[in-house]
Amino acid sequence: MTDHPTTSSETALASARRTLQIESQGILDLSARLDDGFARVVAMLLACRGRVVVSGIGKTGHIARKIAATLASTGTPAFFVHAAEAVHGDLGMITRDDVLIAISYSGSGQELLTILPVVRRMGAGLVAITGNPQSELAQLADIHLDASVAQEACPLNLAPTASTTTALALGDALAVACLEARGFGPQDFARSHPGGALGRRLLTHVRNVMREGDALPVVALDTPVSQALEVMSAKGMGMTVVCDPRHHPVGIFTDGDLRRLIARYGDIRSLTVEAGMTRSPRSINPDALAVEAARQMDELRLNHMLVLDADGALLGALHMHDLMAAKVV
């Protein structure tokens, strides 16, 4: 090993392509090798009354952690247990209602071989993912999934590369098969990811982002334009809602309406908002998704939209900037 290694662009690209070719071939071989054992594992996971526990050590431990996270975020309750920690107390996290997925390419990881008999005595389900169907781990499991590869991408055939990629892909395949069987949809995914972009889009409703109460600019039909401008400036929405005595909107008065009034009359000091307001403004239900409000506003080229209750009374108002701040657009 040299102290100051160098390489050419051609050499680096050739290495990358060779690595990706080897790893992609490993996944293709895995796909061709899948049999009824895979379907039986999916059935076991779907029938699990507890949680799916995924365990490994070393590089496969990192893969096991990611598989557990993918299962958990797609509708299959799961968590990761480090095999070395399991033999020192964390085994108590596993119950008879769980299913353990043990991952070891050699199938001879001592930590996993130590905990498997204990888990079997509990009555939990056992699934092994190894690269050696004849290994002790494979033989101890209820179901074994063969994740073997012809070679590692590492030129020394030592560092786990193609084998870990294949194990990860197999875990993804299990998660997606369970997801599809459960009918797991976008709303379910959003509930598992409330902080992500999809979660915001599918869980944020109009009532969560609308302006209401004292933040809402409201005037009456006979309000002078000069007074309406004061309300608009104070509330900062670029418009004011015009309501009747029952608090039902009859229009909105916007910056654009003001410009049109000035162009038409010149002197507007004696005018009320009724003379220039936009009648029958667009509205939406407070329980509608904010992303739907954004879609309508974008299609109609609106900066504002009112929020009304079932009786047509004013509840609030939306500004496109509010929707952008909520990151639903």
pLDDT tens, residue by residue, 12-57: 999 999 999 999 999 999 999 999 999 999 999 999 999 999 999 9
Question: What angle is formed at CA 133 by the lines to CA 129 and CA 138, rounded to 5 degrees?
Answer: 55
pLDDT at 17: 96
Beta bridge partners of 183: none
pLDDT band with cut points at 50, 70 and 90 for residue 198 = low
When the candidates are 3.30.420.40, 3.40.50.300, 3.10.580.10, 3.40.640.10, the CATH number that belongs to 206-325 is 3.10.580.10
pLDDT at 136: 94
Q: Using alpha carbons only, how large is the chain's radius of gyration in Å? A: 31
Would the pLDDT of 164 be above 90?
Answer: yes
pLDDT at 153: 94
Among the listed residues 150, 86, 136, the one whose alpha carbon sits nearest the alpha carbon of residue 106: 136
Contact predicate 223/232, CB 8 Å? no
Among the listed residues 193, 38, 189, the one whose alpha carbon sits nearest the alpha carbon of residue 127: 38
Q: What is the CATH number of domain 9-184?
A: 3.40.50.10490
**Span 203-254, pLDDT tens digits:** 788 999 999 998 999 999 999 999 999 999 898 888 999 999 989 999 999 9
pLDDT at 193: 55
**Span 105-134, pLDDT tens digits:** 999 988 899 888 888 888 999 999 999 999
pLDDT band with cut points at 50, 70 and 90 for residue 194 = low
Q: Summarize the confidence of residues 267-282 as an average pLDDT.
A: 90
Q: How far apart are CA 126 and CA 109, in angstroms?
A: 15
pLDDT band with cut points at 50, 70 and 90 for residue 6 = confident
pLDDT at 328: 73
The two structure tokens encoding residue 108:
């001879």
pLDDT band with cut points at 50, 70 and 90 for residue 1 = low
pLDDT at 268: 87
Among the listed residues 163, 162, 166, 128, the one whose alpha carbon sits nearest the alpha carbon of residue 145: 128
pLDDT band with cut points at 50, 70 and 90 for residue 326 = confident
Cα→Cα distances 57→87, 106, 140, 177, 264, Å = 12, 12, 18, 25, 78
Q: Summarize the confidence of residues 195-206 as an average pLDDT.
A: 68
Looking at the chain, the domain(s) classified CATH 3.40.50.10490 span 9-184
Contact predicate 149/24, CB 8 Å? no
pLDDT band with cut points at 50, 70 and 90 for residue 66 = very high
Q: How far apart are CA 107 and CA 138, in angstroms?
A: 6
Looking at the chain, the domain(s) classified CATH 3.10.580.10 span 206-325
Q: What is the dihedral of CA 126, 128, 132, 138, to 10 degrees?
A: 0
Would the pLDDT of 280 be above 60?
Answer: yes
